[in-house]
Amino acid sequence: MPPIAYGVADNASFFADDGGAWFDSQLAEANLSENRWEIQWDPSQPTAIAQLPFLQRAAPVAQAAGVRIVLVLDSTRPSVHDPAAFCSWAAQVATAAEQWGVHDYVVWNEPNTARYWAPQDASAPAQYEALLARCYDSIHAADAQARVIGFGLSARSSGPTQTAPIPYIAAVGAAYRASGRQAPIMDQMSLHPYPDPNSPTDSPDVGYANPNDFGVSNLSRVKQVIYDAFNDTKQPTTVNGLTFRIDELGWQTDTSQYSQYYNPENVKVVSEQTQAAYIGEAVQKYLACDPTVTDVDWFLLVDEPSRNGRSPDGSTIVGGGRQSGLMTAGGQGVSTPKLAYTQDAPLFAEGRAACTATQVDWSPMVTRSPYQRGMHGIDVSYPNCGMRLDGRGGFAVVGVNGGRPYSFNPCLRGEYARYAHRASSALYLNTGYERWYPRMITPACVVAAHGRGIAYAVGCSEAATSVRRLALMGLSQPRVWWLDVEPSNVWSRNRALNTSVLRGMIDYLKRSTGASVGIYSLSHWWNSITTGWKTSAPEWIPSARAVCPAPFSAGPVWLAQGGGAHLDIDVAC
């Protein structure tokens, strides 16, 4: 599992007279290592970096303190977002900031809201896709180490001035596909999973009832729409490398006991004890447990003093009126730590080890099987060598191995050649866990299995060896990989190890090939080998007379296998 880093999104250090030295020292004491700043493009001065003096002062200070700086780039005028002019300016920012070790750029803040991108109409997602694609190229051209971060989405829609995030992502994906682009548009995705503004004191568990919105507990919705939008394109999804940056999240606290705040509160708030508990819950139950989430930046280290975002006399807007920081307002000599600052700092230091729940093991829900219901096909492998197939059947599932992992079907080329060109092309792999298999672990799978154990690396290596064999033979990748999970293979008595093997295989195949990965098994086989692991992977099930049975786990049944005189006959369910 990749490491996870914590930080804040707070411009206070960007504008601080000391370049953020005090601020950065407070980050370090709370085990926070990142800060996100916002830099805005002024369309009236399209080639100028108006905030460059602040960057020149604060960025070297942050670099010396070991603080990783992330820059969010957007416009001072929400209605002006010309891709050519803006992305040329963004490249200038990247060129200037590279000297201080700045390489992370969020392209726009909350483009699904009219506050930052206007108008919010049907054309907005396609316009954003065009801008993001252009900026991806220009920023990478300016900085070879750059990481371009897309979206920065608001978590919900609250009316006509906001577009719900899930449909927005789908529309951006449709525009990407329509463009014919053969390159990614982002290296990471930014999300702001605040609680519902109508109930801002909700815990991380609550999330959103509306399936078009998302909270901390609804990140699977984002993963699914990203998969649906970009699968089988040059833009990676969370299945094959895309990660999430949670760069705005927080709960506003009651400040009535402090004298440095002014103006009446305009939102519901929680106690400092509840804020600390909610942050801890978000980390321990969700964020540290999710391998897709690699960066978390809480919104604000230091509170803003105005409770409603206005000056004391109410005449001027002076900020957002946010008191979700980990410290009270005022800055050096005035600010004091809230409970979350001290109570949750150890969790930030623990990284992934802070997870106390089950590791998030998300797989896309594949809504479209490549098999047409009722279609008949066959499955073949090394026992069928020498048999004349002549392309019979509407599809075939061809075995790569010779009955065990790390062995190979000598007839793979001939058997697969007749079916590889079909939309339903599929290969199956033998699976298992023998004591000597750890000797076969590949270096890449050692890295991939960091923190997940040897069995996971074994499974990763079983899959990697077969994929490499396919490449060496010059054979194309299938549409579907099937994993043969049955007692005739050799397994450990420790069913948790067996499950880890299968996790490693599934993750590797999805990450390296982008294809669907399904499982061939029966209910009593599956339960005896894996302790009944619940996975949403598609299922292929042996069945008398090839009648489509109930699933053995939690996935859709795509195929049923029946016997034949010389070949196994399969039917699409």
Res 284: pLDDT: 98
Whether residues 323 and 459 share a domain: the answer is no
Residue 370 lies in a domain: no
Domain count, the chain: 2
Whether residues 136 and 50 share a domain: the answer is yes
How far does CA 183 lie from the centroid of its chain? Answer: 18
Per-residue pLDDT tens for 179-191? 999 999 999 999 9
For residues 71-77, give the mean pLDDT: 98
CA distance 503 to 535: 10
For residues 4-30, give the mean pLDDT: 98
Res 309: pLDDT: 92
Per-residue pLDDT tens for 199-252? 999 999 999 988 889 999 999 999 998 998 898 899 999 999 999 999 999 999
Residue 133 in this model has a pLDDT that exceeds 60: yes
Whether residues 149 and 266 share a domain: the answer is yes
Using 50, 70 and 90 to split pLDDT, how confident is the model at 340?
Answer: very high
CA distance 374 to 495: 35
Any residues with CB less than 8 A from the CB of 472 and at least 6 apart, and which? none
For residues 17-29, give the mean pLDDT: 98
Residues β-bridged to residue 350: none
Whether residues 283 and 382 share a domain: the answer is no
Residue 367 lies in a domain: no
Per-residue pLDDT tens for 504-555? 999 899 888 878 899 999 999 999 999 777 777 889 999 876 678 888 886 7
Rounded to 10°, the helix 219-230/165-179 angle is 20
Residue 365 lies in a domain: no
Whether residues 415 and 313 share a domain: the answer is no
Using 50, 70 and 90 to split pLDDT, how confident is the model at 391?
Answer: low
Whether residues 534 and 418 share a domain: the answer is yes
CA distance 372 to 369: 7
Residue 292 lies in a domain: yes
Strands 293-299 and 376-380, by their bridges, are unpaired
Closest listed residue to residue 107, CA positions, set 28, 49, 190, 31? 190
Per-residue pLDDT tens for 448-498? 787 778 999 999 999 999 999 999 999 888 989 999 999 999 999 999 899
Whether residues 318 and 404 share a domain: the answer is no
**381-385 contacts at long range (C-beta below 8 A, 24 or more positions apart):** 381/409, 381/411, 381/415, 381/428, 382/409, 382/410, 382/411, 384/411, 384/415, 384/567, 385/409, 385/410, 385/411
Residue with tokens 């577009």: 163
Q: Provide the residue range defining the domain that includes 416.
A: 376-572
- Around 29, how many Cα atoms within 13 Å sit in the side-chain half-sphere? 14
Cα distances from 281 to residues 1, 288, 318, 360, in angstroms, run 20, 10, 32, 15
Ordered DSSP codes for 443-474: HHHHHHTTTT-HHHHHHHHHHHHHHHHHHHTT
How far does CA 157 lie from the centroid of its chain? Answer: 21
Whether residues 297 and 382 share a domain: the answer is no
Residue 395 lies in a domain: yes
Residue 327 in this model has a pLDDT that exceeds 60: yes
Residue 234 DSSP symbol: S
Residue with tokens 């930052």: 116
99-113, 315-329, 367-381: range with lowest mean pLDDT: 367-381
394-403, 419-428, 471-480: range with lowest mean pLDDT: 419-428
Quote the pTM value.
Answer: 0.69
Whether residues 314 and 442 share a domain: the answer is no
Using 50, 70 and 90 to split pLDDT, how confident is the model at 5?
Answer: very high
Of residues 170 and 534, more confidence is placed in 170
Any residues with CB less than 8 A from the CB of 49 and at least 6 apart, and which? 39, 55, 89, 92, 93, 96
Using 50, 70 and 90 to split pLDDT, how confident is the model at 198?
Answer: confident
Res 544: pLDDT: 72
Residue 359 lies in a domain: no
Res 150: pLDDT: 98
Res 268: pLDDT: 95
Residue 289 lies in a domain: yes
CA distance 508 to 465: 11
Per-residue pLDDT tens for 289-311? 999 999 999 999 999 999 999 99
18-22, 74-78, 510-514, 544-548: range with lowest mean pLDDT: 544-548
Share of the chain above pLDDT 70, in %: 97
Using 50, 70 and 90 to split pLDDT, how confident is the model at 429?
Answer: very high
Whether residues 333 and 391 share a domain: the answer is no
Whether residues 242 and 339 share a domain: the answer is yes
Which residue type is seen at 456?
Y
Residue 368 lies in a domain: no
Residue 367 in this model has a pLDDT that exceeds 60: no
Please state whether 264 falls in left (phi above 0), alpha (psi between -120 and 50) or beta: beta
CA distance 297 to 553: 36
Domain-ending residue, one of 320, 354, 388? 354
Mean pLDDT of the residues in the chain = 92
> E-strand spans in 433-567?
480-484, 516-520, 539-542, 557-562
Strands 34-41 and 68-75, by their bridges, are parallel
Res 122: pLDDT: 83
CATH number at residue 292: 3.20.20.80
Using 50, 70 and 90 to split pLDDT, how confident is the model at 565?
Answer: low
Whether residues 486 and 400 share a domain: the answer is yes
Closest listed residue to residue 508, CA positions, set 430, 421, 447, 440? 447
